[in-house]
Amino acid sequence: MQADTSAKISLAFDVKNYESMSTTVDNKEIKYRAFEYIPYVANPIDIDQQYMNIYVPEEYFNNGTVNGYNTQTAPIFMPNAVGGYMPSQAMTPKVENGKPNSVLYALSRGYVVASPATRGRTNKASDGNFIGKAPAVIVDLQAATAYLHANDSTMPGNANRIITNGTSAGGAVSLLQGAAGNSSDFQPYLQALGAATAATNVYAVSAYCPITNLDAADMAYEWSYKGITSFNKVTMGQGELPQANVGGNAAPPQRTIQRVNLNANDVAYSNLLSEHFPEYVNNLQLHDSMGRVLKLDKNGNGTFKNYVKAFIIDAANKAQAKGTDLSKHTYLVRDNKTGAIKDINWEAYNQFVSRSKAPGAFDSRSNDSGENNLFGTSTTDNNHFTITAALHDTTSNQNVYVENAKIVTMMNPMNYLGSPAATNAQFYRIRYGTADSNTSVAIPLIVGTRAQNLGYKVDMATPFGVDHSGDYDLDELFNWMDNIVK
Ligand code: DHB
């Protein structure tokens, strides 16, 4: 940790420390107060990453109401701009391509907005040590959440109605915020940072294309894409990952696309991973909404596969009802009489989407993925985080398995959903587009189904033809939020 030479940081919300701002959306002027660069920990490791921006509709300072909310009842929308598990900056209200981003849109709907910056996997201290490896991102988000709870009586908005939002890696950590609330696992980290001593749980979660459940995601990826041996591999400059359209402030890194043909070794590894997936799924003992058990046989077929297909079929029927031209989607199987889509050819669907990552999609055997970089330590940049990849490592380095396997469990919401030691969010909205191959569609559905099986309210869908992106349906997102709050 770096020495803190700054004046003592107060974690008391200062209602006088703001700037008045206004932006016009659809000919309507949105007035708000901006409280920017507010530190959310008293002993930051990196003050440029551990602050948040808070925005409050101006009406709440004049006893006014917006959309039926007042300063006491307004929910707190908590979006992050995390992409690729990289460092992230706090979001700001903006008009992008003629449309309000989620922050500005939230203000127009009467929400208080609190958007934290977070440390990420490439952050370094001046001594060269890494300071943003896992679990830094979730620790920072929990610290920001604790700030909101600690200041609930003086700050506009209701800290018992915090709704998180994020896309891709940001969707993953949004889910993790929802699952891991108040878990003592994070307390030593929060205490070291001087976080407010307060609750870290949230009310609800919105997650777009969450790149989550990382230690099971390699198996799921091969269950989806095992037949595909030639594909376009997407790589970002500096080994960065595809940046989602998260409405953050960073310019997207340069993409390079490379045609890759898997060799026999890759194919063998794909087979090994996909063969492990049924056992993983079966152990979860998931159910559909009718209570039917979701299982896979050793070939990867069964009720779980039909369940995943049903989401895609449903999305295709919705797109068809809206008049979308589906002629290029030749994997869709129609009912001869009604023309409704009744099935998909699973292999052809996955061929159509194609893979964008080689087997070992997340824990790469060559230990060089963004996720390997996430699980580094203060002095080691990259590590394996699954036993399987560590056993099949192709580098000449020794000791490339994570030093502290507990940290891997702390990054996975599956370990907190249903745990009596955590306070889980009660509401989840999860989206994963049918054109996205950044993870297997099974992954977000598994997390959502687990939450649903626990009795939480889960709104899950796989919007048709949508690729790796988020915040594309803000009207519906905020309708859902209003519904669960009011
Ligand atoms: C993101 C994308 C990925 O493919 C991945 O593995 C991790 C994160 C992202 O866009 O945030």
Mutate to test the pocket of ligand 1, among 137, 168, 369, 374 (most ligand atoms within 8 A of CB): 168
Q: What digits encode the pLDDT tens for the residues 331-342?
A: 999 999 999 999
- Distance (Å) from CA 298 to ligand 1 centroid: 29
Query: Residue 417 in 3-state DSSP?
Result: coil
Quote the CA–CA distance of 35 and 6 in Å, as a whole number. Answer: 20
Cα angle 437, 443, 445; round to 5: 110
DSSP 3-state of 159: strand
Among residues of the chain, what percentage have pLDDT more than 70?
95
Ligand 1 centroid, distance to 68 Cα (angstroms): 37
Residue 244 beta carbon below 6 angstroms from any ligand 1 atom: yes
169-179 and 442-453 helices, crossing angle to 10°: 20
Whether omega for the bond prior to residue 252 falls within 30 degrees of 0, making it cis, is: no
Nearest residue (by CA) to ligand 1, atom 4, is 438
Regarding the beta carbon of 168 and ligand 1, being less than 6 Å apart is answered yes
Which tens digit of pLDDT belongs to each residue from 392-418?
Answer: 999 988 879 999 999 999 999 999 999
Distance from C-alpha of 233 to C-alpha of 360, rounded to nearest angstrom? 13
Tell me the β-bridge partners of 130.
124
The predicted pLDDT at position 254 comes to 65
Q: What's the Cα-to-Cα distance from 450 to each of 177, 309, 458, rounded to whole Å?
A: 16, 18, 10
pLDDT band for position 239 (cuts 50, 70, 90): very low
Q: How far is the CA of 82 from the centre of ligand 1 (A)?
A: 10
pLDDT at residue number 76: 99
The tokens of 70 are what? 């007042």
Q: How far apart are CA 128 and CA 124, in angstroms?
A: 6
Taking only Cα atoms into account, the Rg of the chain, rounded to an integer number of angstroms, comes to: 22
ipTM: 0.99
Residue 143: which H helix or E strand, with range?
A: helix 136-150
* pLDDT, position 243: 42
Is residue 247 scored above 60 in pLDDT?
no
- Are the C-beta atoms of residues 148 and 155 closer than 8 Å to each other? yes
Tokens of 467: 């690729």
Q: Tell whether ligand 1 has an atom less than 6 A from the beta carbon of residue 470.
A: no
- Whether ligand 1 lies within 6 angstroms of the CB of 108 is answered as no
25 vs 148: CA distance, rounded Å = 27
In this model, does residue 369 exceed pLDDT 90? yes
CA of 355 to the centre of ligand 1 (A): 14
Q: 3-state SS of the chain: helix, strand, coil percent to 5?
A: 30, 20, 50
Nearby residues of 326 by Cβ (< 8 Å), 6 or more positions away: 316, 319, 320, 332, 341
Cβ atoms 432, 172 nearer than 8 A: no
Distance CA 22, CA 30 (A): 5
From CA 411, how far away is CA 145, in angstroms rounded? 17
Judge if pTM exceeds 0.80: yes
Q: Would you say 199 and 147 are in contact if contact means Cβ atoms under 8 Å apart? A: no
Rounded Cα distance, 56 and 71, in Å: 9
Contacts of 391 (CB under 8 A, 6+ apart): none
| Probe residue for ligand 1, chosen from 86, 88, 137, 211 as the CB with the greatest number of ligand atoms within 8 Å | 211
Residue (of 84, 148, 173) closest to 410 by Cα position: 173
Contact 435, 465 (CB under 8 A): yes
